[in-house]
């Protein structure tokens, strides 16, 4: 049970402080939400210019497993969360010895490891793609043809499509496993996708659970490009099933915090779970402007032991991810090295909300920010989102 940490409370002469492991954009948006509610914040991230560190009351710039850094974070924080799943599980366990940590080390350890994750989905009765775990050359030999063509994914440390190779033949599989350094992998059958969806749930320490509506996601080159949460896009019967599955997955690990579950919807109408992220998710950024509470507000509430109230989506929403590529080809023209895409043109559109993460250097594929478009109707939000995409040089969807 997380203790109740009332916003603005003063403990030992200090404003009550919420801590976060990781200083990326998700940490930054958590910090903003926590501060808006009256909490002080602490960030542990080795990068002195981390997006969250730049806006936090405290920034501890040590390695994630540095005992002194962890001790410092625990000393100033009344409770601690995480913003990325590859935070070393032993570091969370160290923090948990003296402070409430949500999500807990056990849930994070499952999400860090594709094999454990799939076993967890199995235990929860939620179907995933046919797969095999590959740890030895013998495992590689014994896979069945049913898994080909497939995707070989490293069991650990993959993100944004990194650590994945698509393979069609047994020889290609051998080559791919060698190229990945013969580390532990899962081979997943390549499925014919109709669409991709995700569901974000928040669960409190006493088992209360709420969820956001189902998000419809478009990935390009393994990276989320567009999220749409508009009327008529996701069949309500399908949406109900995905929400139930996401809730079962959270319940199955007595999860505390915000959890995102990603799904594949297949061309024959069936669906499978893909993976889970033990934190707010890129596909939930629309909640910041289209819902009465954002995914980061709910992360604060679960961490501080505050009540969870079902969030309400008040506007139709489309989110465009702003990758570093745009800094080089907005409007089809190269931006100057220091220049920015033409935000002035984008912000002239009704219902446009720009979120940039404070990263100084743009690089292709780097998540620099996101743009939320909101409107009263699905048609209106789509028109404006397509206009924004055209201005920025993002391919239409």
Q: Please count the residues of this chain forming the interface with ligand ATP, following the rule CB under 6 A.
A: 18
Tokens of 28: 């930054």
| Residue 32 contacts residue 54 (beta carbons within 8 Å) | no
Determine the angle formed by the axes of helices 105-112 and 114-123, rounding to 10 degrees: 110
Least separation in angstroms between CB 190 and ligand ATP:
5
SS3 317: strand
Single out the residue of 151, 258, 260, 304 in contact with ligand ATP (rule: CB under 6 A): 151
Stretch that binds ligand ATP, among 14-22, 27-35, 159-167, 308-316 (CB under 6 A): 159-167
99 binds ligand ATP (CB under 6 A): no
58 binds ligand ATP (CB under 6 A): no
Determine the angle formed by the axes of helices 67-76 and 89-96, rounding to 10 degrees: 40
188 binds ligand ATP (CB under 6 A): yes
161 binds ligand ATP (CB under 6 A): yes
Single out the residue of 9, 190, 243, 378 in contact with ligand ATP (rule: CB under 6 A): 190
Least separation in angstroms between CB 242 and ligand ATP:
15
Judging by beta carbons within 10 Å of its beta carbon (0-12, 13-18, 19+), is residue 237 exposed, middle or buried? exposed
Q: Which is nearer to ligand ATP, 85 or 289 (CB)?
A: 85
Stretch that binds ligand ATP, among 151-159, 231-239, 245-253, 388-396 (CB under 6 A): 151-159
Q: Judging by DSSP bridges, how do beta strands 58-60 and 14-15 pair with one another?
A: unpaired
Rounded CA-CA distance 69/61 in Å is 8
Least separation in angstroms between CB 283 and ligand ATP:
9
| Residue 133 contacts residue 186 (beta carbons within 8 Å) | yes
| Residue 332 contacts residue 393 (beta carbons within 8 Å) | yes
21 binds ligand ATP (CB under 6 A): no
Single out the residue of 25, 94, 215, 274 in contact with ligand ATP (rule: CB under 6 A): 274
Number of separate helices (H) and strands (E) present in the chain = 13, 19
Single out the residue of 123, 137, 159, 244 in contact with ligand ATP (rule: CB under 6 A): 159
297 binds ligand ATP (CB under 6 A): no
191 binds ligand ATP (CB under 6 A): yes
Least separation in angstroms between CB 324 and ligand ATP:
16
Least separation in angstroms between CB 344 and ligand ATP:
31
Q: Which is nearer to ligand ATP, 26 or 129 (CB)?
A: 129
Stretch that binds ligand ATP, among 189-197, 203-211, 294-302, 387-395 (CB under 6 A): 189-197
Residue list 118-137, contact with ligand ATP (CB under 6 A): 129
Tokens of 65: 């497993």
Single out the residue of 275, 289, 297, 325 in contact with ligand ATP (rule: CB under 6 A): 275
220 binds ligand ATP (CB under 6 A): no
Q: In the 8-state DSSP scheme, what is residue 63?
A: -
Angle subtended at Cα 129 by Cα 207 and Cα 155, rounded to the nearest 5 degrees: 80
Stretch that binds ligand ATP, among 74-82, 185-193, 299-307, 382-390 (CB under 6 A): 185-193
DSSP per residue, 343-381: HHHHTTSTTEEEEE---SS--TT-EEEEEEEEESSHHHH
Stretch that binds ligand ATP, among 58-66, 188-196, 247-255, 389-397 (CB under 6 A): 188-196
CA end-to-end span of the chain:
44
* Close Cβ partners of 338 (under 8 Å, ≥ 6 residues apart): none
Describe the chain by its helix, strand, coil percentages, rounded to 5.
30, 30, 40
Least separation in angstroms between CB 132 and ligand ATP:
12
SS3 92: helix
* Residues at the site binding ligand ATP, with contacts judged by CB under 6 A: 129, 151, 153, 158-162, 188, 190-191, 193, 196, 219, 222, 262, 274-275
């Amino acid at each position: 049970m997380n203790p109740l940490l009332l916003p603005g409370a003063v403990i030992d002469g200090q404003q009550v402080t919420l801590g976060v492991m990781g200083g990326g954009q998700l940490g930054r948006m958590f910090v903003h939400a926590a501060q808006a509610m009256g909490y002080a914040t602490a960030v542990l991230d080795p990068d002195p210019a981390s997006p969250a560190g730049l806006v936090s009351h405290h920034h501890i710039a040590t390695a994630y497993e540095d005992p002194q850094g962890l001790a410092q974070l625990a000393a100033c924080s009344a409770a601690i969360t995480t913003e990325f799943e590859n935070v070393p599980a032993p570091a969370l366990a160290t923090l948990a010895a003296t402070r409430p940590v949500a999500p807990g080390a056990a849930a994070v350890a499952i999400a860090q490891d594709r094999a454990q994750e799939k076993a967890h989905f199995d235990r929860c009765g939620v179907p995933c793609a046919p797969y095999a775990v590959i740890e030895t050359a013998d495992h590689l030999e014994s896979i069945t043809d049913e898994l080909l063509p497939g995707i070989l994914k490293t069991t650990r440390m993959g993100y944004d499509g990194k650590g994945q190779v698509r393979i069609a033949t047994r020889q290609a599989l051998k080559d791919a496993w060698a190229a990945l350094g013969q580390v532990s992998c899962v081979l997943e059958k390549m499925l014919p996708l109709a669409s991709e969806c995700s569901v974000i749930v928040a669960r409190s320490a006493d088992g209360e659970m709420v969820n956001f509506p189902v998000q419809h996601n478009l990935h390009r080159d393994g990276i989320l490009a567009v999220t749409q949460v508009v009327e008529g896009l996701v069949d309500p019967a399908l949406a109900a099933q995905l929400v139930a599955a996401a809730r079962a997955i959270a319940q199955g690990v007595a999860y505390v915090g915000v959890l995102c579950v990603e799904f594949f919807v297949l061309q024959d109408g069936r669906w499978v779970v893909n993976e889970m992220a033990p934190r707010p998710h890129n596909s939930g950024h629309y909640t910041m402007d289209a819902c009465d509470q954002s995914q980061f507000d709910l992360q604060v509430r679960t961490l501080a032991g505050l009540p969870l109230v079902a969030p309400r989506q008040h506007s139709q929403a489309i989110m465009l991810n702003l990758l570093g590529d745009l800094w080089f080809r907005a409007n089809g023209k190269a931006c100057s090295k220091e220049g920015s895409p033409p935000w002035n043109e984008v912000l002239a559109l009704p219902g446009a909300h720009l979120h940039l993460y404070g990263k100084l250097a743009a690089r292709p594929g780097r998540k620099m920010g996101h743009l939320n478009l909101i409107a009263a109707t699905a048609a209106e939000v789509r028109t404006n989102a397509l206009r924004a995409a055209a201005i920025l040089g993002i391919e239409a969807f």
